[in-house]
Amino acid sequence: GDEAAAAAALARQAVLTKPPGSLGRLEDLAVWLARWQGRAIPRLDQVSIAVFAGNHGIAARGVSAFPIEVTAQMVANYAAGGAAINRLAETAGATLTVVPLDLDRPTADFTKAPAMDEGEFLAAVSAGYAAVAPDLDLFAVGEMGIGNTTAAAALCAALLGGGAARWVGRGSGVDDHGLSRKRDAVEAGLARHGAKVADPLAIAAALGGRELAAMMGATLAARRHRIPMLLDGYIASAAVLPLARMASDALAHCRAAHCSGEPGHKALLPALGLVPLLDIGMRLGEGTGAAVAMLLARAALSCHAGMATFSEAGVAEKTC
Amino acid sequence: GDEAAAAAALARQAVLTKPPGSLGRLEDLAVWLARWQGRAIPRLDQVSIAVFAGNHGIAARGVSAFPIEVTAQMVANYAAGGAAINRLAETAGATLTVVPLDLDRPTADFTKAPAMDEGEFLAAVSAGYAAVAPDLDLFAVGEMGIGNTTAAAALCAALLGGGAARWVGRGSGVDDHGLSRKRDAVEAGLARHGAKVADPLAIAAALGGRELAAMMGATLAARRHRIPMLLDGYIASAAVLPLARMASDALAHCRAAHCSGEPGHKALLPALGLVPLLDIGMRLGEGTGAAVAMLLARAALSCHAGMATFSEAGVAEKTC
């Protein structure tokens, strides 16, 4: 990040017509945008959300409340403009890009084999990297993939411990039997691949999915281009956990948009060093939480860029 | 509220292309707007924020970090468009009305006399009531008044107990000496007026302020006109506490926009039966938290009104 731009933004916040600090995290968001854009007064003209979609072999084990066909059906829904992320991206003033990743070729069932081989994994990471235009002012990732809360839980359990019970939730809404199948699947995945824990990328390939790998690649691209980035929910956060395990500041350009209603997310966010902006029980994915958080970024910028200073407004400053 | 409209909105939420409940509180917001507007698909065309400003005799006791002149200076700043609420109202698509209430005539110092006599109190309530147009789709109140966190704390302490320490915070940023003076002022106010606790309106007149009374009147008007309403922070919430003490469902048309960084607010919200939408450390007042929460309401409506249903999109529904 650009510390000079951040310092200039912080100095501006101190003289705007409000008690110092009284806009709370809106002030932090303005300074964060300034730091990563390298502008004391940042802008939000080019705002973009990339949604990656993938299919999962593990879905065949009955871990989701929805059939695997729904991944492609929802991609069609995105194209038609009928999904939540279409409406929220529009509300947030963000362009939406949807990248389906080999939907007719699900990953392998990770209880039997690595979800992806090295070539498949790198292709997905590259697809994510390539989806990020270098001149964005703010970026977010989202995902769609029936079965991917199971992949996210397996990744978290492998890299952070605590067993399946800590990381498996109801996802899109499985019943008790489905929940039990999810836990069994995660435990079986850990038994097969857990020994690779010293290599977070190998874990990502073995237990993750194409859309998770793509979100990792997109996060690297945003960092490379110094684009401030909002992480969406549980799956997006799990997707970048391998990066955080390899480099403690890998997510310095990221903010957590929200804490998902999916319970594992609350445990995952501290492991990423992130404090969520919103906690309103969203658990849809698609980048929807990130899109709502973009509204907070717009609110933050509107104050930062548009408020009068004490001297401009002739308002007396703090006296004690 | 209109339960038929709410039921129709809830039924629509169940068939939109997302797992049931996965938009969390955005779904609740859509149903809440439907209930109070009496429309299964509500609208947010006429959205308004009213900011009431008042001055406080108690300010002479050194309870604020800012001089009392700042109230009028900030009203001028609102007129010039330079304050946070100007920028946030614009971002939220809300019209902003600012109502200064006898700024050259502060309330009485409540450690010595009731802040307002009955006539002054009723005039302020009426000014608030009159500030609400009957055809609004969404409404919020905010306030400006140097010293008014002290009035809010005194109101809460009188009606909810726990003493000054539970309700007094640093407000706009007083130092330790100022904090001590605030606590002393609240304790003195309780000693003088606490016996009136059985009459919440008498407490509101004795310990509150004109802008607090006006917010109470505006809240009554919104209820009368069935307008869904967002409460701002600590002072707006304290202002309506007397209503909640008189009628348990008086705030059924309200949602709490946020939990203020001012610590008393976290204790106050449960007493009002409200769960805040945001908790991002804002403590500016002016309706700023409510304006940011309006963005969430817009996000909620965009999904509710604009998403495709499962059958429209040809997406398979939940199977287990």
Specify if B31 maps to a domain: no
* Predicted pLDDT at B317: 85
| Interface pTM, i.e. ipTM | 0.97
Give me the residue label for tokens 């999109």. B313
Specify if A236 maps to a domain: yes
Q: CB neighbours (10 Å) of residue B191?
A: 10
Percent of chain A clearing pLDDT 70 (strictly above): 100
Mean residue pLDDT of chain A comes to 97
Residues A86-105 have pLDDT tens digits of: 999 999 999 999 999 999 99
Is B178 in contact with A83 (Cβ distance < 8 A)?
Answer: no
Tell me the average pLDDT across A111-118.
Answer: 98
Measure the CA–CA gap between B189 and B205, rounded to whole angstroms.
Answer: 12
Residue B1 identity (one-letter amino acid) = G
In chain B, where does DSSP find H-type helix?
3-15, 25-37, 69-80, 84-92, 118-130, 148-160, 163-167, 176-193, 200-207, 210-224, 234-246, 264-272, 288-306, 310-313
Q: Contact at 8 Å (CB) between A192 and A110?
A: yes
Q: What is the pLDDT along chain B (320 residues), one digit of tens a residue?
A: 999 999 999 999 999 999 999 999 999 999 999 999 999 999 999 999 999 999 999 999 999 999 999 999 999 999 999 999 999 999 999 999 999 999 999 999 999 999 999 999 999 999 999 999 999 999 999 999 999 999 999 999 999 999 999 999 999 899 999 999 999 999 999 999 999 999 999 999 999 999 999 999 999 999 999 999 999 999 999 999 999 999 999 999 999 999 999 999 999 999 999 999 999 999 999 999 999 999 999 999 999 999 999 999 999 988 76
Residue of chain A whose alpha carbon sits nearest to that of B316: A70
Specify if A69 maps to a domain: yes
Residue of B17, B44, B73, B175 best to disrupt the A interface, most CBs of A under 10 A? B17
Residues A142-194 have pLDDT tens digits of: 999 999 999 999 999 999 999 999 999 999 899 999 999 999 999 999 999 99
Q: Which of the four pLDDT bands, split at 50, 70 and 90, describes residue A317?
A: confident
* Predicted pLDDT at A13: 98
Specify if B95 maps to a domain: yes
* Helix (H/G/I), strand (E/B), else coil: B258: strand
For residue B298, give the nearest of A16, A91, A173 by CB distance: A91
Rounded to a whole number, what is the distance in Å from the CA of B62 to chain A's nearest CA? 9
Specify if A23 maps to a domain: no
* Predicted pLDDT at A318: 81
The tokens describing B285, both together, are 């007042």
In A81-162, where does DSSP find H-type helix?
84-92, 118-130, 148-160
What's the total number of domains in chain A? 1
Is B24 in contact with A280 (Cβ distance < 8 A)?
Answer: yes
Is A86 in contact with B306 (Cβ distance < 8 A)?
Answer: yes
Q: Contact at 8 Å (CB) between A80 and A31?
A: no
Tell me the average pLDDT across A20-25.
Answer: 97
* Predicted pLDDT at A283: 97
CA dihedral A242, A247, A253, A258 (to 10 degrees): 40
Q: What is the DSSP string of A205-231?
A: HHHS-HHHHHHHHHHHHHHHTT--EEE
Residues A261-312 have pLDDT tens digits of: 999 999 999 999 999 999 999 999 999 999 999 999 999 999 999 999 999 9
Picking from B100, B105, B91, B95, the residue whose alpha carbon sits closest to that of residue B73 is: B100
Residue of B12, B13, B16, B23 best to disrupt the A interface, most CBs of A under 10 A? B23
Specify if A112 maps to a domain: yes
Domain of B111, CATH number, reads 3.40.50.10210
* Predicted pLDDT at B278: 98
The tokens describing A25, both together, are 């995290």
The tokens describing A59, both together, are 């879905």
Residue of chain A whose alpha carbon sits nearest to that of B63: A320
Residue of chain B whose alpha carbon sits nearest to that of A74: B315
CA dihedral B282, A38, A318, B65 (to 10 degrees): 20
Measure the CA–CA gap between A17 and B172, rounded to whole angstroms.
Answer: 12
Q: What is the DSSP string of B31-51?
A: HHHHHHHT-SS---SSEEEEE
The active-site residue, picked from B69, B286, B312, B317, is: B286
The tokens describing B286, both together, are 């002016």
Picking from B64, B68, B57, the residue whose alpha carbon sits closest to that of residue B181 is: B64
* Predicted pLDDT at B241: 98
pLDDT of A319 > 90? The answer is no
The tokens describing B247, both together, are 């009628």
Rounded to a whole number, what is the distance in Å from the CA of B101 to chain A's nearest CA? 19
Picking from B149, B235, B155, the residue whose alpha carbon sits closest to that of residue B193 is: B155
Give me the residue label for tokens 């348990």. B248
Cβ contacts (< 8 Å) between A317 and chain B: which residues?
66
Specify if B240 maps to a domain: yes
For residue B25, give the nearest of A16, A25, A280 by CB distance: A280
Specify if A125 maps to a domain: yes
For residue A82, give the nearest of B87, B174, B307 by CB distance: B307
Rounded to a whole number, what is the distance in Å from the CA of B122 to chain A's nearest CA? 30
* Predicted pLDDT at B320: 64
For residue A83, give the nearest of B76, B82, B307 by CB distance: B307
* Predicted pLDDT at A320: 64
Residue A63 domain boundaries: 45-296
Q: Could you tell me how far CA B141 lies from the centroid of its own chain? A: 5
